[in-house]
Amino acid sequence: MDVVVSQIFTGLSTGSIMLLAATGLVLTFGQMGVINMAHGEFIMAGSYTAYVVQQATASAGASLLISLVLGFLVGGAMGVIIEITLLRHLYHRPLDTLLVTFGVGLVLQQVARDVFGAPAVNVRTPSWLSGSVEVLGAVVPRTRLFILVLALVCLAALAAALQYTALGRRTRAVMQSRDLAESSGISSRRVDLTTFFIGSGLAGVAGVALTLIGSTSSTVGQSYLINAFLVVVAGGLGQLRGALIAAFVLGLLQSFLEYSTTASVAQVLVFVVIVVFLQFRPQGLFSLKTRSLV
Amino acid sequence: MSTTTPAAPARRWPAVPGPLRTGAGFALAAVVLFAVAPAVLSDFRLGLLGKFLCFAIVAAGIGLAWGRGGMLTLGQGLFFGMGAYVMAMHLKLADAQVRGDAVPDFMSIAGVRDVPGWWQPFASPVVTLLVVLLAPGAVAVLLGLMVFKRRVKGAYFAILSQALAAALATWVVGQQMLGGSNGLNRFRTFFGFDLSDPANRRLLFFIAAGTLLVVVAVVRQLMRSRYGELLVAVRDQEERVRFLGYDPANVKVVAYTVAATFAGIAGALFVPLVGIISPSDVGIVPSISFLIGVAIGGRDTLLGPVLGAIGIAWAESSLSESFPSAWVYAQGALFIVVVGFLPGGLASLGGVLRRRGRPAERVPHEEPDEPASVRTTEPEKEPVA
Give yes or no for residue A118 having a pLDDT over 80.
yes
Alpha-carbon distances of B64 from A293, B256, B294, rounded to whole Å: 25, 8, 10
Could you tell me how many CB contacts below 8 A there are between chain A and chain B? Answer: 131
Question: B342 to chain A: nearest residue by CA?
Answer: A96
**A27 contacts: CB under 8 Å, gap ≥ 6:** A158, A195, A196, A198, A199, A202, A238
- ipTM, interface predicted TM-score of the complex: 0.85
**How confident is the model over A184-193, as a mean pLDDT?**
89
Range with the poorest average pLDDT among A135-149, B75-89, B234-248, B291-305: A135-149
Asked if B152 has any chain A CB less than 8 Å from its own CB, the reply is yes
Residues from chain B contacting residue A89 (CB–CB below 8 Å): 340-341
Residues from chain B contacting residue A96 (CB–CB below 8 Å): 6, 339-340, 343
Instruction: Give percent above pLDDT 90 in chain A.
Output: 36
From the list A96, A110, A226, the residue facing B329 with the nearest CB is A110
C-alpha to C-alpha distance for B213 and B145, rounded to whole angstroms: 29
Give me the amino acid identity at B353: L
For residue A137, what is the DSSP state?
Answer: T
Note which residues in 346-375 of chain B have CB less than 8 A from chain A. none
pLDDT at A46: 94
The structural architecture, per CATH, of the domain A2-280 is Orthogonal Bundle (1.10)
pLDDT at B197: 87
* Residue B369's pLDDT band (cuts 50, 70, 90): very low
**How confident is the model over B99-125, as a mean pLDDT?**
87
From the list B70, B147, B325, the residue facing A114 with the nearest CB is B325
pLDDT at A289: 66
Per-residue pLDDT tens digits for A40-56: 999 999 999 999 999 88
Per-residue pLDDT tens digits for B18-48: 788 888 888 898 888 888 888 888 888 898 9
Contact B158 A107 (CB under 8 A): no
Question: A266 to chain B: nearest residue by CA?
Answer: B171
Instruction: Give percent above pLDDT 70 in chain B.
Output: 88
From the list A90, A275, A293, the residue facing B160 with the nearest CB is A275
Question: For chain B, what are the domain ranges?
Answer: 14-344, 346-385
Q: Measured in whole angstroms, how far is the alpha carbon of residue A243 from the centre of its chain?
A: 10
Interface test with A, best of B175, B335, B348 (most A CBs within 10 A): B335
Q: Which helix (H) or strand (E) is A225 found in, with range?
A: helix A220-235
Helix axes B304-322, B324-334, angle to 10 degrees: 150
Question: A96 to chain B: nearest residue by CA?
Answer: B339
Residues from chain A contacting residue B329 (CB–CB below 8 Å): 107, 110
Asked if B98 has any chain A CB less than 8 Å from its own CB, the reply is no
Contact B332 A110 (CB under 8 A): yes
* Residue A83's pLDDT band (cuts 50, 70, 90): very high
* Residue B357's pLDDT band (cuts 50, 70, 90): low
Contact A100 B284 (CB under 8 A): no
Give me the amino acid identity at A256: F
Per-residue pLDDT tens digits for A253-293: 988 988 888 878 888 888 888 888 887 887 888 876 665 55
C-alpha to C-alpha distance for B61 and A277, rounded to whole angstroms: 28
Per-residue pLDDT tens digits for B257-299: 999 999 999 999 999 999 999 999 998 889 988 998 999 998 8
From the list A86, A92, A264, the residue facing B336 with the nearest CB is A86
Count CB-CB contacts under 10 A for residue A180.
11
Residues from chain A contacting residue B2 (CB–CB below 8 Å): 294
pLDDT at A283: 80
3-state secondary structure chain B: CCCCCCCCHHHCHHHCCCHHHHHHHHHHHHHHHHHHHHHHCCHHHHHHHHHHHHHHHHHHHHHHHHHHCCCCCCCHHHHHHHHHHHHHHHHHHHHHHHHCCCCCHHHHHCCCCCCCHHHHHHHCHHHHHHHHHHHHHHHHHHHHHHHHHCCCCCHHHHHHHHHHHHHHHHHHHHCHHHCHHHCEECCCEECCEECCCHHHHHHHHHHHHHHHHHHHHHHHHHHHCHHHHHHHHHHHCHHHHHHCCCCHHHHHHHHHHHHHHHHHHHHHHHHHHHCEECHHHCCHHHHHHHHHHHHHHCCCCCCHHHHHHHHHHHHHHHHHHHCHHHHHHHHHHHHHHHHHHCCCCHHHHHHHHHHHHCHHHHHHHHCCCHHHHHHHHHHHHHHHC
For residue A28, what is the DSSP state?
Answer: I
pLDDT at A208: 93
Computed from CA positions of residues A255, A257, A263, A266, in that sequence, does the dihedral angle turn out positive or negative? negative
* Residue B108's pLDDT band (cuts 50, 70, 90): confident
* Residue B14's pLDDT band (cuts 50, 70, 90): low
Higher pLDDT, A73 or B362: A73
pLDDT at B263: 97
pLDDT at B366: 38
Note which residues in 137-156 of chain A have CB less than 8 A from chain B. none
pLDDT at A233: 87
C-alpha to C-alpha distance for A110 and A108, rounded to whole angstroms: 5
Per-residue pLDDT tens digits for B169-226: 988 988 888 888 889 988 988 888 888 888 888 999 999 999 999 999 999 999 999 9
Contact B147 A278 (CB under 8 A): yes
Per-residue pLDDT tens digits for B115-132: 888 898 999 999 999 999
Instruction: Give percent above pLDDT 70 in chain A.
Output: 97
C-alpha to C-alpha distance for B104 and A164, rounded to whole angstroms: 65
Give yes or no for residue A89 having a pLDDT over 70.
yes
Asked if B72 has any chain A CB less than 8 Å from its own CB, the reply is yes
**A116 contacts: CB under 8 Å, gap ≥ 6:** A48, A51, A218
Range with the poorest average pLDDT among A148-152, A154-158, B87-91, B345-349: B345-349
Question: B343 to chain A: nearest residue by CA?
Answer: A96
Q: Which helix (H) or strand (E) is A258 found in, with range?
A: helix A240-260
From the list A96, A104, A113, the residue facing B325 with the nearest CB is A113
pLDDT at A290: 62
Mean pLDDT of chain B, nearest integer = 84
Q: Which helix (H) or strand (E) is A191 found in, with range?
A: helix A188-210
Per-residue pLDDT tens digits for A205-236: 999 999 988 889 888 888 888 889 889 888 88
Give yes or no for residue B101 having a pLDDT over 90.
no
pLDDT at B133: 95
Asked if B167 has any chain A CB less than 8 Å from its own CB, the reply is yes
First to last CA, chain B: 43
Instruction: Give percent above pLDDT 90 in chain B.
Output: 43
* Long-range CB pairs of A254-263, under 8 A, 24+ apart, other chains included: A254/A11, A254/A14, A255/A7, A255/A8, A255/A10, A255/A11, A255/A14, A256/A7, A256/A11, A258/A10, A259/A3, A259/A7, A262/B174, A263/B174
CB-based burial of residue A184 (10 Å sphere; 0-12 exposed, 13-18 middle, 19+ buried)? exposed
Higher pLDDT, B368 or B317: B317
pLDDT at A201: 94
Main-chain phi, psi angles of B311, to 5 degrees: -60, -45
Residues from chain A contacting residue B339 (CB–CB below 8 Å): 96, 99-100, 103
pLDDT at B247: 94
pLDDT at B4: 46
Contact A282 B6 (CB under 8 A): no
pLDDT at B5: 46
CA angle B115/B121/B124 to nearest 5° reads 105
Length, in residues, of chain B: 385
pLDDT at A138: 78
**How confident is the model over A8-14, as a mean pLDDT?**
87
* Residue A71's pLDDT band (cuts 50, 70, 90): very high
The closest of A98, A5, A129 to B340, measured between CA atoms, is A98
Note which residues in 95-114 of chain A have CB less than 8 A from chain B. 95-96, 98-100, 102-107, 109-110, 113-114
Alpha-carbon distances of A230 from A26, A216, A252, B143, B256, rounded to whole Å: 11, 23, 15, 17, 21
Asked if B146 has any chain A CB less than 8 Å from its own CB, the reply is yes
Contact B332 A104 (CB under 8 A): yes
Asked if B173 has any chain A CB less than 8 Å from its own CB, the reply is yes
pLDDT at B365: 39
Length, in residues, of chain A: 294
Residues from chain A contacting residue B167 (CB–CB below 8 Å): 267-268, 271-272
C-alpha to C-alpha distance for A112 and A266, rounded to whole angstroms: 31
Give yes or no for residue B375 having a pLDDT over 60.
no
Interface test with A, best of B1, B3, B164, B242 (most A CBs within 10 A): B3
Asked if A230 has any chain B CB less than 8 Å from its own CB, the reply is yes
Interface test with B, best of A106, A108, A280 (most B CBs within 10 A): A106
